[in-house]
Structure 1
């Protein structure tokens, strides 16, 4: 199994960088990533200082997938997400839209949380289940040079909790080799990622990457053992919700034999939403597979 070490911190999905790893379809790899706070909060007394490190969500890559071409799809099975240091970190951040009600006198709130025995110790009294996920993973677009802050059709900073162990993420390929990057692992995250900061951790992530030739998708998809999920982003969030549901309907139609209007009706009653960072409009919509297996 090939391994990719951290390297220099990178904050763009760039086509201009030399690939740091080349793989063939079907390979399993292990990738080291830094936390979204650029490693600034490691011990008591540390704080997030954007005057020194202004950017967030460093990603490791690019990973070049042999024979990948525009119009193909990557199927990325997430095998394992492990904390590199046995801890994670968070801070209060900027409440932005909440300032209307909460005010602007915001404490830094930075603190380190140990991870052990399947729990994240947020305080001496409160332990949160360890539920690792990748906040940021994406292929590289054919034009522009998106940073690791927004999400889009390429993936990017989706912050969707279902990008986790045991699930398969599907991403479009826009450039030769795909140029895959990943980072921003969380030990856990609440729906909406209210402060724009999850329980951020440096990680080692094990992935199996399959290339699906000739399969073109409009944006990220996720398949779990029990659900089909599509992801969209942008504001207003109502627009992203509509796009995600439309893409889920089209997936049900093209690959599972559904009439689109029957799928539209069904999702009205059984569809669910999973929120990424609320201010960025990132969200996923999903349907249990038990309904999809009976096209109507």
Structure 2
């Protein structure tokens, strides 16, 4: 298995960087990443210093996949996400839209939590199950260089809890090699990522990357052992939900034998959504695989 250690911290999904690793389709790679706070918070007294490090969500990459060409897709199966320092950190200094109701006197709220034995020790009396996921994963577009703040058709800062071990993330390829980046690992995160900060941690993520020739995608997809889902990001979120469900209906039509309108009817009753960071309107529309054999 190849290993990609932390190197330069990138804050864009850029095609302009030289690949740090080249792999063949089907290879498994362990990728090390820094936390979304750029390693600045390791204790409750630390503070995020945006003068020294103004950006968030540093990435490791890019990884070039041999044979990947525009119009293909990468199938990235997340095998494991392992914390590297045994702790995670969060902060509540930026209440943003909530200020209308909560006020503007929010404390900094730096909060470091140990991770051990499958639990996150949020306080002496509250533990949270260790349920790791990647906030950022994506490929490099052929035009422009999106930062690690938004999500888009390339993937990006999706902050969807389903980018987790056991699931496969499908990403469009826009340039030769694909140029895969990842980072922003979370030990856990609630739907919506309310404070815009999950339980952030440096991590080692083990992935297996396959290449799907001619699998042209307009937005990312995720497949779990029990569900398929489509991801769309943008505000207003109502539009993202509608588009994600439309793409899910078309996926059911093109690959599972459904008529799109029949799928639309079914999804009205059994479809579910998962919400990433609410501030950028990222959603997953999903359906349980057991329904795909119906019609």
> Which residue of structure 1 lines up, in the alignment, with residue 130 of structure 2?
130
> Which residue of structure 1 lines up, in the alignment, with residue 167 of structure 2?
167
| TM-aligned CA deviation for residue 126 of structure 1 | 0.7
- Cα distance in 1 for partners of 2:242, 2:291 equals 20
> Which residue of structure 1 lines up, in the alignment, with residue 110 of structure 2?
110
> Which residue of structure 2 lines up, in the alignment, with residue 156 of structure 1?
156
* SS of corresponding position for 2:182: strand
> Which residue of structure 1 lines up, in the alignment, with residue 147 of structure 2?
147
> Which residue of structure 2 lines up, in the alignment, with residue 286 of structure 1?
286
TM-score w.r.t. length of structure 1:
0.99
| TM-aligned CA deviation for residue 93 of structure 1 | 2.7
Summarize deviations over 1:41-93 as a string: whole Å, max 9, x none. Answer: 01231111212211000000000000100000100100000001111000113
- Cα distance in 2 for partners of 1:111, 1:52 equals 21
When the two chains are superposed, the root-mean-square deviation of aligned CA atoms in Å is: 0.7
- Cα distance in 2 for partners of 1:7, 1:280 equals 28
Q: Is structure 2 residue 100 aligned with structure 1 residue 72?
A: no
- Cα distance in 1 for partners of 2:61, 2:94 equals 29
| TM-aligned CA deviation for residue 192 of structure 1 | 0.4
Summarize deviations over 1:225-280 as a string: whole Å, max 9, x none. Answer: 10011100000001100110011000000000000000000000000010000010
> Which residue of structure 1 lines up, in the alignment, with residue 227 of structure 2?
227
Where in structure 2 are the equivalents of 1:45-124 lying within 5 Å? 45-124=45-124
TM-score w.r.t. length of structure 2:
0.99
Q: Which runs of 5+ in 2 are unaligned?
A: none
Summarize deviations over 1:176-232 as a string: whole Å, max 9, x none. Answer: 000000000000000100000000000000000000111111111011110011100
* SS of corresponding position for 1:274: strand
> Which residue of structure 1 lines up, in the alignment, with residue 203 of structure 2?
203
- Cα distance in 2 for partners of 1:225, 1:102 equals 40
* SS of corresponding position for 1:239: helix
* SS of corresponding position for 2:44: coil
Q: How many aligned positions are there?
A: 295
- Cα distance in 1 for partners of 2:293, 2:117 equals 37
Contact 1:93–1:197 (Cα < 8 Å) also in 2: no
> Which residue of structure 1 lines up, in the alignment, with residue 256 of structure 2?
256
* SS of corresponding position for 1:181: strand
Q: Which runs of 5+ in 1 are unaligned?
A: none
- Cα distance in 2 for partners of 1:14, 1:126 equals 40
> Which residue of structure 2 lines up, in the alignment, with residue 177 of structure 1?
177
